[in-house]
Chain A
Amino acid sequence: MNALLDIRGLTIDIDRDSGPARVVDGIDLTVAEGESLGIVGESGCGKSLTMLSLVGLLPNRIRATGGVADFAGKDLLAMSSEELRRLRGSQIGFIFQDPMTSLNPVMRVGAQIAEALVYQSGMAKPAAMERAAELLELVGIPSPRDRLMAYPHELSGGMRQRVMIAIGLAGSPRLLIADEPTTALDVTIQAQIVDLVRDLKDRFGMSVVWITHDLALIAGLADRIAVLYAGTVVEDSPVDVLFERPTHPYTRGLLASLPTLTDKPMSRLPSIAGTPPEPGRRPPGCPFAPRCALVTAVCTTSVPRLAPVAGSAPGHRAACFVTAGEGAS
């Protein structure tokens, strides 16, 4: 399989009054043609900024300062904003985390989807409206034709998210980047969206990058999962291997925090003590060291690199001196 998206050594800095603060610190990620990659990680660890940097939509005062991001052989980070604009929608579908900030509040949702279609594929307006209704139907919105007239505030939270999903899929992209697209969706509709995306992937070879904190959802969708912590990839693994053999102590902590349908109600859930380092204030060694139960001397002085997990499946890598790579027991 060829890599459709290949990110190497990506760094992103926030320009603070006190000087630049590094928020994404050398991320490597690849997504093959037709593959779906799930991304999970601590709130604030740089997932959204990483994805925004790929399509040239980083906010003011935040810049990608290093690395490359090859998409079908061309470096996205080196493209002009005009080139990126053309790519967005037609080649790369993007679903933003915050529907209320990316939908136009004074424009009816049908017109918004149709506008995207007209822009991306040069479709005529009436045909675009027709297609917009089909897309709303695909994402499970009842009475889709009637809902074309709704303003975003007239829709429920989950419906707004599905409008975003419809816009992301509108241009039949080769790569879909979805940033927490289903946080407001109940399990039945989530399942329907996951089926839809998997179907597009199987039929048209669409590649998918799906950011979520919902481990059960991603278990059913992703081929591989990358776990991010403080702006770096700390574990990267085929999906079934990750759940069978979580290796990085942060990944283990995440899985342990998960409430299940069999735990003791009202009990305290285990959570990882402490808080992640802030951008620009990361410790010298492993970024997880201050919160890690397995920390050793080397962890506080050197930065562990992503390395194969000894004795695990091929393609399972973790960045940890104790549980993976050189020095692992």
Chain B
Amino acid sequence: MTAPLLSIRNLTKEFPVRLGAFGERAATVHALDCLNIDISEGETLSLVGESGCGKSTTGYCVLNIQRPTSGSVIYAGTDIAQLDDDGMRPFRRDLQIVFQDPYSTLNPRMTIGEALAEPILFHGLARKSEIRDRLHQLLADVGLSERFASRYPHELSGGQRQRVAIARALACQPRFIVCDEAISALDVSVQAQILNLLLDLQQKYGLTYLFIAHDLAVVRHISDRVGVMYLGRLAELAPAAALFVQPLHPYTRALLSAVPSTDPRAARTRQRLQGEVPSPLAPPPGCRFHTRCPLARAQCRSDVPPLREVVSGHSVACHAVSSPTATNWEHSPA
């Protein structure tokens, strides 16, 4: 086994917030709780899970864009979670992110061309004379004509902005990219084009992706491994093929059954996950899924289930699942 590109150890993030109609109560958002993952060079690891479960927070903390509350992220022998802005500088080029919200990350007063040229020139990746060609190549890669170089972010449609954000992340030839809902505003044909591009770059340069997305068909298509998150913790971590064929965690099963289909009739009769989404302001004790789980038992209400490897490479955090065959599904109403 080669050493992982990134080792994430006990990564935890809490946000202090004020609550109540007048902000009179202090409270804590438990956004991320003791996350452990190794990411190998050249792989695509996807994170899926309900809105608010901590996917973006994971991406930010791994890149130290948000300082984690505790835990470490080892990259190239260094714990980058401990570094300040200056310390991060040598790593920034290697570690890029496409933000979920591209508008807030593009400088409104810079043209698209300037925004793309900046990191290239800053990192000395091209000479001034080569920059024009490089820009055109980057824009073409994401399906935009060279004329976009002279436009401003507000003159672009939502999907065009999202593609500029992708081009900007690719501009510095990074080794690792967090793609946070990076293709979610694109029509399916452009989406296919970007997915093809990401796969090509991975083959050519061994790029590594942490891919955050809610579209499970897309996730299945491009991932080597998938982590399913629930309320700040990993519920299941498995090779993509195994996860979609044999989901083991009760939450994963519920999530997969909710996938809509393009058959209008099937789409209207699909299952729903029952129960309230618990709040990260006061996560339930024990297994955080127990309030909605069809298999929940006494132990689930008190003990946190550890993430255990039940088959080679396939880990599950559930008291009721000890092996792929002993899952107690017979008791499940689902």
Contacts and interface: CB of A to CB of B under 8 A. Distances in A.
Interface of A: 40-44, 47-48, 59, 97-101, 110, 129, 140, 142-143, 146, 148-150, 154-159, 162, 180, 183-192, 195, 213-217, 219-220, 239-240, 243, 253-255, 257-261, 263, 265-272, 275, 278
A265 B241 contact: yes
B254 A188 contact: yes
30 contacts: A40-B187, A43-B186, A44-B159, A142-B276, A142-B280, A149-B17, A149-B19, A157-B56, A158-B51, A180-B185, A183-B184, A184-B100, A184-B184, A186-B255, A188-B258, A195-B272, A214-B215, A219-B263, A220-B270, A243-B262, A254-B189, A258-B217, A259-B220, A259-B221, A263-B217, A265-B240, A266-B199, A267-B221, A269-B196, A270-B192
Interface stretch (B20-28, B82-90, B296-304): B20-28
B214 A213 contact: no
Nearest to B254: A188
Contacts of A143: 279, 281-282
A129 B259 CA distance: 34
A181 to B, nearest CB: 11
Given A156-B51, A261-B259, A266 B103 contact: no
Contact of A258 (B52, B57, B262): B262
B21 A239 contact: no
Interface of B: 15, 17-21, 23, 27, 29, 48-52, 56-57, 100-101, 103-104, 143-145, 147, 154, 156-160, 163, 180-181, 184-193, 195-196, 199, 214-218, 220-223, 240-241, 244, 254-255, 258-265, 267-268, 270, 272-273, 276-282
Given A100-B104, A149-B19, A261 B217 contact: yes
5 nearest A-B residue pairs (beta carbon): A158-B51, A43-B159, A220-B267, A269-B192, A271-B192
A187 B163 CA distance: 23
A183 B212 CA distance: 12
A100 B254 CA distance: 31
Nearest to B268: A220
A207 B181 CA distance: 29
B185 to A, nearest CB: 5
A99 B192 CA distance: 25
Nearest to A239: B264
A216 B189 contact: no
Contact of B187 (A41, A156, A159): A41
B17 A158 contact: no
Given A149-B23, A255-B188, 18 more contacts: A43-B157, A44-B159, A146-B20, A157-B100, A186-B51, A187-B255, A188-B258, A189-B51, A192-B272, A217-B267, A219-B261, A257-B191, A261-B216, A261-B244, A265-B221, A266-B221, A275-B143, A278-B147
